[in-house]
Amino acid sequence: MSQPDAAAVPSRSGAAIDAAAARGAAALVGYLPVGFPDVDTSIAAARAMVAEGVDVVELGLPYSDPGMDGEVIQDAVQQALDAGTRTRHVLRAVEEVAATGAAVLVMSYWNPILRYGVERFSRDLAAAGGAGLITPDLIPDEAGEWLAASDAHGLDRVFLVAPSSTPERLKRTAAACRGFVYAASTMGVTGARAAVGARAEELVAATRAAGAERVCVGLGVSNGAQAHEIARYADGVIVGSALVRTLKRADGDGRAAIGDLRALVADLASGVQR
């Protein structure tokens, strides 16, 4: 069965990445889970990231079994769930952050989307102004319903590749993605690291050779120097755990948390300049 042509629908996250390239930079992609430390603060934090230079925002939909996430994100997501954060709050956050003009993607494991309904979620995400969806535990071979729904509602779809991905897997993933391919630069769970994965540049080159138009690198970036290193060869730099950890450090002081977050994003934004 052939996959839909991902290039047939315009991509908002792709346009944001291309705009960054036009000004001589890699795109900065920032992740925060909705509902941590609370819904309102998470929305304010995401909007602050955009103001400081984030090009594409990833809003995490809290899930009870985030097996691919590290301890920092797991703890934040659990706090969001304990506080009652649900899909409706994520869609509200999408609408409020998209109002800044940034491309907003939802990052979600697949089970919550299935429970909500793939077509229903796609419709509601598009209505909220969302650009699309990142699905870390879904592969294109098993994504028929999502491929169809994303085409119907004009949504980006971002799948992951890893250093273990075979050439055939890279080719299938590159063909199915719209917006960019998410290259996980290290094996294992997410988390900020002292150094990014040594195989990241090789993985980006292999993914491009497999047909990907844009490749963004995530897992491990925690400062501007690392962002600059990745910006030399990737179309975008994805940061998650370092941003969440910054919010955690403020220990309940929302204003201080957002101030610290702004400072980190400013450092990252300076780093993605090529």
Catalytic residue list: 58, 69
Token pair, residue 251, equals 């220990």
Token pair, residue 48, equals 């602050």
Distances (CA, A) of 126 to 47, 70, 95, 132, 155: 19, 29, 10, 8, 7
Q: With the C-alpha atoms ordered 80, 186, 237, 91, is the resulting torsion angle positive or negative?
A: negative
Nearest to 185 by CA among 167, 203, 172: 203
First-to-final CA distance of the chain: 40
Quick count: other Cβ atoms within 10 Å of Cβ 152?
14
Nearest to 73 by CA among 246, 217, 266: 246
Which residues make Cβ contacts (< 8 Å) with residue 29, sequence separation at least 6? Answer: 54, 55, 56, 57, 58, 216, 218, 236, 237, 238, 239
Nearest to 73 by CA among 114, 25, 108, 110: 108
Report the C-alpha gap between 241 and 268 in whole angstroms: 13
Q: With the C-alpha atoms ordered 65, 108, 162, 76, is the resulting torsion angle positive or negative?
A: negative
